[in-house]
Amino acid sequence: MEDGRRTADGPGTPEPCLTVCPLEGGQGVRAAGEIGLATHTIWERALERAVREGEAVYFLELSEVTFVDVAGAGALAAAAERLGDGRRFVVRRPPPALRRVLETFWPGLSTIEVSMS
């Protein structure tokens, strides 16, 4: 049974979404959903907040993120490049494609650490 909703992808296809919330007991955020054209503003705001907060290590828990486009990876790399000396993002359990994109386009970017555990 169709619910009557229409999107660019066809009837009943849900719009991509991204939720970002603070990590419990740690400095950083947990994201869930997709990082793509429809959600870039949310992602970029979260990254800008991370840069402003000034923590030495800022965790990005991405285990519930199902997709990151190249522009989303680029926003992460650009934010990481704005971190001050001695600061870094620790990206926990990202989608496998994000790790590959970072390694391909931003190899050796020392301000991003990818952790699969």
Report domain extents, the chain: 16-115
Coil/strand/helix, residue 53: helix
pLDDT of the residue at 74: 98
pLDDT of the residue at 13: 66
Q: What is the DSSP pairing of strand 88-92 with strand 57-68?
A: parallel
Residue 8 above 90 pLDDT? no
How does pLDDT run across 37-73, given as a tens digit for each residue? 999 999 999 999 999 998 999 999 999 999 999 999 9
Q: How far apart are CA 16 and CA 34, in angstroms?
A: 6
Report the 10 Å Cβ neighbour count for 98: 21
Q: How far apart are CA 14 and CA 109, in angstroms?
A: 35
How does pLDDT run across 64-108, given as a tens digit for each residue? 999 999 999 999 999 999 998 899 999 999 999 999 999 999 999
Residue 2 above 60 pLDDT? no
On whether the 16-115 domain is CATH 3.30.750.24, my answer is: yes
Residue 11 above 70 pLDDT? no
Beta strands, E only, the chain:
6-7, 10-11, 18-22, 28-35, 57-68, 88-92, 112-115
Whole-prediction pTM: 0.86
